[in-house]
């Protein structure tokens, strides 16, 4: 019975953690995303979250469905924002298979904005994650993302702005031993992103771009289309 349980854990964790080891790296994927943010007037508190529909291909072959949301706090007289949040991630099997795994994730985040000159907008995002998988494996991960946004046709990112959006995000695992006889490297992955954005309104922006995700064993390109909504 104990051997059967270990086998089940290995199979489930293999689907959730290593599904990307057996896919076609040359196939371009597509991520469709909606990011939202709500700050309450005359309050330091708010909410933020995102919905991401990630595909192994341009559409139809689910890679991941990510649902995430959190409570935010912005200190008075500061543009910094801190978040405590939760995410649920469903990971699909590459190709025609219909198997899927589930992960719950608690995260803490600090977002620190910075402006250089009249047109260069920077954001530093630090995120710490606690990840809970189907196989009862608890993992932690550290992430650092540097965002760079440059408006092209005007000096700010208000209505009708056309802008260049870049980011680079580094992922580092919190431990090498992840249970049931499995180990990972401390370096998890890196994501580099470049996009063109348009501000339909002061609080509604759209971006279309390209992202390359790289690990120790593979690299894959994704087209990304996203909506960014503050209200």
Which alpha helices (DSSP H) does the chain contain, by range? 2-18
Residues 34, 199: Cα–Cα separation, whole Å:
14
At 10 the pLDDT is 40
Instruction: Give the CATH number, domain containing residue 173.
Output: 2.40.160
Among candidate residues 193, 152, 204, 184, the one with its CA nearest the CA of residue 37:
204
Give the residues across from 174 on adjacent strands: none
Q: How many domains does the chain have?
A: 1
Domain residues for the domain of 210 are 2-230
What pLDDT, on the 0 to 100 scale, is given for residue 21? 55
pLDDT value, residue 99? 86
- The whole-number mean pLDDT for each consecutive block of 10 residues of the chain, a chain of 231 residues, reads 42 44 86 97 95 95 97 95 98 87 96 96 98 81 98 97 98 87 90 98 98 96 98 92
Q: What is the pTM of this model?
A: 0.88
- pLDDT computed for residue 63 by the predictor: 95
In angstroms, what CA-CA distances link 151 with 114, 118, 134, 196? 15, 10, 43, 10
């Amino acid at each position: 019975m104990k051997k059967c349980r270990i086998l089940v854990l290995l199979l489930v964790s293999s689907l959730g953690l290593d599904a990307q080891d057996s896919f076609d790296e040359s196939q371009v994927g597509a991520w469709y995303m909606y990011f939202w943010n709500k700050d309450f007037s005359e309050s330091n508190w708010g909410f933020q979250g995102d919905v991401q529909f990630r595909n192994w291909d341009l559409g139809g072959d689910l890679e991941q469905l990510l649902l995430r949301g959190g409570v935010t706090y912005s200190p008075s007289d500061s543009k910094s924002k801190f978040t405590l949040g939760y995410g649920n991630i469903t990971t699909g099997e590459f190709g025609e298979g219909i198997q899927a795994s589930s992960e719950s994730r608690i995260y803490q985040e600090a977002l620190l904005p910075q402006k250089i000159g009249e047109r260069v907008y920077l954001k530093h995002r630090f995120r710490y994650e606690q990840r809970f998988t189907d196989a009862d494996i608890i993992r932690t991960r550290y992430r650092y993302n540097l965002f760079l946004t440059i408006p092209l046709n005007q000096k700010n990112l208000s209505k009708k702005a056309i802008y260049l959006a870049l980011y680079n995000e580094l992922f580092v695992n919190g431990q090498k031993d992840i249970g049931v006889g499995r180990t990972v490297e401390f370096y998890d992955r890196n994501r580099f992103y470049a996009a063109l954005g348009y501000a339909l309104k002061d609080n509604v922006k759209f971006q279309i771009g390209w992202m390359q995700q790289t690990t120790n064993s593979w690299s894959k390109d994704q087209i990304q289309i996203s909506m960014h909504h503050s209200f």
